[in-house]
Amino acid sequence: MMTTETTKENQVLEFLKRELKTAEHTNSVLCYYGVGAKDLVKYLEHPKKCGNWLFDFVILAEESVNKINNKYLIPFPIIENQTEQDRVLSKLLSKNNWYCFGTNAFFNDHVKVSHVIQYMERQGAIYDWTAYFLLRVQAETKRVKEFLL
């Protein structure tokens, strides 16, 4: 029988693995509340291997797991059907993505133009994203539409 604590840790572990997979091609470090995502995955998968970590760092990792559970684990948002506007804009972005914005710093967080294109085309990869990342991509897609239209 699974406890609530184990279920929470498994959900956070799944969230972190999906976030790491989404952010694997960026040059940034994925960090939550002062603890790297890879360290949190290691802590949740093999806590006995973290026995030589500083006690304060273990406490910080445990607090981070709780905070991630409270903030980032949200219900999966509704994905609306693809519109003609989405089809046209995704083709425009896939052919001229850097010319549309004038800079590669247009997007926030680790959302990239490829993520927006995947969302606009409703590719299967969007269902592998976390709900929190999907909400960010939806917000960036809305910004792109406002900017381009």
Same domain, 57 and 34: yes
DSSP 107: S
pLDDT, residue 98, reads 67
Kindly report, residue by residue over 60-81, the tens digit of the pLDDT: 999 999 999 999 999 999 999 9
Q: How far is CA 32 from CA 109, 114, 142, in A?
A: 13, 24, 26
Q: Based on the domain organization, do 27 and 52 belong to the same domain?
A: yes
Whether residue 8 contacts residue 69, with contact meaning beta carbons closer than 8 Å, is answered with yes
- Indicate whether 56 belongs to any domain: yes
CA 117 to CA 137: how far, in whole Å?
10
- Do the domain assignments include residue 78? no
Interior angle at CA 109, CA 63 and CA 92, nearest 5: 150
Q: Are 4 and 69 in contact, with CB atoms under 8 Å apart?
A: no
**Count of beta carbons in the 10 Å neighbourhood of residue 135:** 14
Q: How far apart are CA 15 and CA 11, in angstroms?
A: 6
If asked whether residues 23 and 57 sit together in one domain, one would say yes
Q: Are residues 44 and 8 in the same domain?
A: yes
Cα–Cα distance for residue pair 121/140, rounded to 1 Å: 15
pLDDT of residue 90: 92
Q: For residues 82 and 79, what is the distance between their CA atoms, to the nearest angstrom?
A: 9
130 close to 22: Cβ distance less than 8 angstroms: yes
pLDDT digits (tens, 9 = 90+) for 120-137: 999 999 999 999 999 999
Among the candidates 16, 41, 71, a domain finishes at 71
- Of the chain, the end-to-end C-alpha distance in Å amounts to 53
Total count of domains within the chain: 2
Q: What is the pTM of this model?
A: 0.85
Where among 47, 71, 95 does a domain terminate?
71
Q: Where in the sequence is the domain holding 138, given as residue range(s)?
A: 84-148
User: How confident is the model at residue 149, as a pLDDT?
Assistant: 81
- Tell whether 112 is covered by a domain: yes
Q: Confirm whether 17 is domain-assigned.
A: yes
**77 domain residue, yes or no:** no
Q: Among the three residues 27, 42, 71, which one is the final residue of a domain in this structure?
A: 71
- Nearest residue to 99 (alpha-carbon basis) of 82, 113, 115: 113
Q: For position 122, what pLDDT does the model report?
A: 95
pLDDT under 70 in the chain at which residues? 1-4, 25-28, 97-98, 101-104
Are 9 and 66 part of one and the same domain?
yes
